Protein backbone atom coordinates (compact mmCIF):
# COMPACT_ATOMS: atom_id res chain seq x y z
CA UNK A 1 0.00 0.00 0.00
CA UNK A 2 2.81 2.38 0.89
CA UNK A 3 4.52 1.79 -2.48
CA UNK A 4 1.77 3.33 -4.57
CA UNK A 5 1.91 6.60 -2.63
CA UNK A 6 5.69 6.57 -2.60
CA UNK A 7 5.64 6.27 -6.40
CA UNK A 8 3.58 9.44 -6.77
CA UNK A 9 6.07 11.16 -4.47
CA UNK A 10 8.97 9.92 -6.64
CA UNK A 11 7.23 11.21 -9.76
CA UNK A 12 6.70 14.62 -8.13
CA UNK A 13 10.39 14.77 -7.24
CA UNK A 14 11.30 13.83 -10.80
CA UNK A 15 9.09 16.62 -12.14
CA UNK A 16 10.73 19.09 -9.75
CA UNK A 17 14.17 17.90 -10.87
CA UNK A 18 13.29 18.27 -14.55
CA UNK A 19 11.82 21.69 -13.89
CA UNK A 20 14.88 22.84 -11.98
CA UNK A 21 17.61 21.47 -14.24
CA UNK A 22 16.06 21.92 -17.66
CA UNK A 23 15.74 25.68 -17.40
CA UNK A 24 18.34 26.73 -19.98
CA UNK A 25 17.02 24.81 -22.93
CA UNK A 26 18.04 26.06 -26.37
CA UNK A 27 15.08 27.66 -28.09
CA UNK A 28 15.30 25.33 -31.10
CA UNK A 29 15.02 22.29 -28.78
CA UNK A 30 12.22 23.59 -26.54
CA UNK A 31 9.81 20.95 -27.86
CA UNK A 32 11.89 18.25 -26.17
CA UNK A 33 11.57 20.04 -22.84
CA UNK A 34 7.82 20.44 -23.33
CA UNK A 35 7.51 16.73 -24.13
CA UNK A 36 9.51 15.79 -21.04
CA UNK A 37 7.34 17.94 -18.81
CA UNK A 38 4.07 16.87 -20.45
CA UNK A 39 4.95 13.18 -20.20
CA UNK A 40 5.99 13.61 -16.57
CA UNK A 41 2.70 15.26 -15.64
CA UNK A 42 0.75 12.62 -17.57
CA UNK A 43 2.63 9.92 -15.68
CA UNK A 44 1.72 11.56 -12.36
CA UNK A 45 -1.91 11.81 -13.43
CA UNK A 46 -2.20 8.13 -14.30
CA UNK A 47 -0.30 7.13 -11.15
CA UNK A 48 -3.07 8.84 -9.16
CA UNK A 49 -5.59 7.01 -11.29
CA UNK A 50 -3.91 3.68 -10.55
CA UNK A 51 -3.96 4.51 -6.83
CA UNK A 52 -7.73 4.93 -6.90
CA UNK A 53 -8.60 2.02 -9.20
CA UNK A 54 -10.00 -1.08 -7.55
CA UNK A 55 -10.11 -3.15 -10.76
CA UNK A 56 -6.84 -5.12 -10.63
CA UNK A 57 -6.59 -5.62 -14.41
CA UNK A 58 -7.13 -1.91 -15.05
CA UNK A 59 -4.54 -1.04 -12.39
CA UNK A 60 -1.99 -3.37 -14.00
CA UNK A 61 -2.68 -1.82 -17.41
CA UNK A 62 -2.10 1.64 -15.94
CA UNK A 63 1.09 0.47 -14.24
CA UNK A 64 2.30 -0.88 -17.60
CA UNK A 65 1.61 2.55 -19.09
CA UNK A 66 3.65 4.20 -16.32
CA UNK A 67 6.52 1.85 -17.19
CA UNK A 68 6.29 2.87 -20.85
CA UNK A 69 6.30 6.56 -19.84
CA UNK A 70 9.44 6.01 -17.77
CA UNK A 71 11.17 4.35 -20.72
CA UNK A 72 10.04 7.17 -23.02
CA UNK A 73 11.38 9.77 -20.58
CA UNK A 74 14.67 7.88 -20.48
CA UNK A 75 14.81 8.14 -24.26
CA UNK A 76 14.09 11.88 -24.17
CA UNK A 77 16.79 12.45 -21.56
CA UNK A 78 19.18 10.48 -23.76
CA UNK A 79 18.31 12.76 -26.68
CA UNK A 80 19.09 15.78 -24.48
CA UNK A 81 22.47 14.31 -23.63
CA UNK A 82 23.24 13.43 -27.26
CA UNK A 83 22.41 17.00 -28.31
CA UNK A 84 24.60 18.37 -25.48
CA UNK A 85 21.64 20.06 -23.80
CA UNK A 86 22.53 18.40 -20.50
CA UNK A 87 25.94 17.35 -19.23
CA UNK A 88 27.05 13.84 -18.26
CA UNK A 89 26.52 14.43 -14.54
CA UNK A 90 22.91 15.55 -15.04
CA UNK A 91 22.32 12.71 -17.53
CA UNK A 92 23.48 10.15 -14.98
CA UNK A 93 21.37 11.70 -12.22
CA UNK A 94 18.22 11.69 -14.35
CA UNK A 95 18.98 8.10 -15.38
CA UNK A 96 19.39 7.02 -11.74
CA UNK A 97 16.11 8.68 -10.79
CA UNK A 98 14.27 7.03 -13.67
CA UNK A 99 15.79 3.61 -12.87
CA UNK A 100 14.83 3.95 -9.21
CA UNK A 101 11.28 4.89 -10.15
CA UNK A 102 11.09 2.02 -12.63
CA UNK A 103 12.11 -0.50 -9.96
CA UNK A 104 9.38 0.73 -7.64
CA UNK A 105 6.71 0.64 -10.33
CA UNK A 106 7.70 -2.89 -11.33
CA UNK A 107 7.52 -3.92 -7.66
CA UNK A 108 4.12 -2.25 -7.31
CA UNK A 109 2.93 -4.06 -10.42
CA UNK A 110 4.11 -7.42 -9.06
CA UNK A 111 2.35 -6.80 -5.75
CA UNK A 112 -0.87 -5.93 -7.62
CA UNK A 113 -0.87 -9.38 -9.20
CA UNK A 114 -0.50 -11.15 -5.86
Residue 91 has pLDDT above 50, yes or no: yes
Given this model, what pLDDT does residue 113 score?
78
Give me the CATH number covering residue 96: 1.20.1440.60
Mean pLDDT confidence for 74-100? 96
Question: What was the pLDDT predicted at 22?
Answer: 87
What pLDDT does 25 receive? 87
Domain that holds residue 88: 2-113
Number of domains in the chain: 1
- In a 10 Å sphere around its CB, with 0-12 CB exposed, 13-18 middle and 19+ buried, how is residue 10 labelled? buried
The pLDDT assigned to 112 comes to 84
Each residue of 15-47: pLDDT tens digit? 999 999 888 889 999 999 999 999 999 999 999
Average pLDDT over residues 89-95: 96
Quote the pLDDT of residue 3. 56
Q: Output Rg (C-alpha) for the chain, integer angstroms.
A: 15
Which distant-in-sequence residues (6+ apart) come within 8 Å of 11 by Cβ? 40, 43, 44, 47, 101
Q: Which tens digit of pLDDT belongs to each residue from 49-81?
A: 999 999 999 999 999 999 999 999 999 999 999
Q: Residues 6 or more apart from 101 whose CB is under 8 A from it?
A: 7, 10, 11, 14, 70
pLDDT of residue 1: 47
pLDDT at 72: 98
Amino acid sequence: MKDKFYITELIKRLIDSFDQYLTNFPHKEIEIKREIMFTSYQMLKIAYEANTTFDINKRIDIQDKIISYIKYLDYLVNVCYDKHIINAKRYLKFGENLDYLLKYVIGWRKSSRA
